[in-house]
Amino acid sequence: MTHSLHRRGNAESLQEDFVFLFIPAKGINDNGHEAKLQEFLRITLKHDPKNIGAITIGNMYSHQVDEIIDGATGVAHAVFDNTDAVTGVLQDLKEADLGLSTIVSGIFENVDGCLEKAGLKHHTANFSLGIWGNTGKLPSDDVLEVTTMCGHALIAANLVQSMVDEVKAGRKTADEAAKTLAPQCACGIFNPARATKLIAAMAAK
């Protein structure tokens, strides 16, 4: 399972949303894993990530990139908005052969296509079964498209609505609003490029 699995949205929007998690197995290959996380992050930076981060530090909207690389431990993350970048990262990781688990979240067919181009095959596939229970208590679907980009639920629905209101009032651009939300996602799987488009669409209603 992964906290990046439950992102909401239509196929068009999710075409521009891919998350990498790079993680050791505790007690199996975690000795000295920090240097491997650092190299993973350096590789992702070659391909114009929309966000990078590590749960122990934060993301590139709350910390300097060098701080994230130097302090990463446990799990590192990177977010991209196109398949060319995903394929490039996979090719570089294949060549680097760092020996840690790599998880890629996105539309299944798109991720599989990137793996094929990189000369790789997926080991395991997980699918979200959606949200069960009293879904009437949930925020609106368009707000959920933004909040579910933080898998630890650290971006509040009311904050998203507040940012939409700021954009409607002309006090912020959609890009500024997205970058206000981004630091709240501690591990860095939030996609501010996608959020910019989602917020702009909500503000236009």
5 belongs to a structural domain: no
Tokens coding 114:
């990137």
Q: Report the relative pairing of strands 101-105 and 58-59 from DSSP bridges.
A: unpaired
Same domain, 109 and 149: no
Query: Which range marks the domain in which residue 156 is found?
Result: 135-203
CA 127/CA 49 separation, integer angstroms: 24
The pLDDT tens digits of the residues spanning 51-78 come to 999 988 999 999 999 999 999 999 999 9
Residue 198 confidence (pLDDT): 98
Distances (CA, A) of 6 to 29, 43, 66, 189: 27, 26, 29, 12
Per-residue b or e along 40-52, where b marks 16 or more CB atoms closer than 10 Å to that residue's CB = bbebbbebebbbb
129 belongs to a structural domain: no
Same domain, 150 and 196: yes
Same domain, 95 and 192: no
Same domain, 19 and 109: yes
Same domain, 37 and 85: yes
- The domain total for the chain is 2
Same domain, 98 and 167: no
83 belongs to a structural domain: yes
Q: Could you tell me the pTM of the whole model? A: 0.94
Same domain, 22 and 86: yes
128 belongs to a structural domain: no
2 has a pLDDT exceeding 80? no
124 belongs to a structural domain: no
Which residues lie across from 104 on neighbouring strands?
20
33 has a pLDDT exceeding 90? yes
Same domain, 140 and 103: no
126 belongs to a structural domain: no
1 has a pLDDT exceeding 60? no
Same domain, 193 and 146: yes
Same domain, 75 and 151: no
State the chain's mean pLDDT as an integer: 95
Q: Report the relative pairing of strands 51-54 and 18-23 from DSSP bridges.
A: unpaired
Among residues 22, 81, 76, which one has the least CA distance to residue 47? 81
CA 4/CA 124 separation, integer angstroms: 15
Tokens coding 172:
């912020």
4 belongs to a structural domain: no
Same domain, 91 and 181: no
Among residues 94, 51, 102, which one has the least CA distance to residue 75? 102
21 has a pLDDT exceeding 60? yes
Same domain, 158 and 196: yes
Answer yes or no: are the C-beta atoms of 102 and 25 closer than 8 Å: no
Among residues 68, 54, 52, 119, which one has the least CA distance to residue 90? 119
Q: Indicate the residue type of 27.
A: G
* Average pLDDT of the segment spanning 20-35: 94
Distance of CA 186 to the CA centre of its chain: 11
Phi-psi region of 188 (alpha: psi -120 to 50; beta: other; left: phi over 0): left
The pLDDT tens digits of the residues spanning 127-179 come to 888 889 999 999 999 999 999 999 999 999 999 999 999 999 999 999 999 99
88 has a pLDDT exceeding 90? yes
CATH number, domain of 59, equals 3.30.70
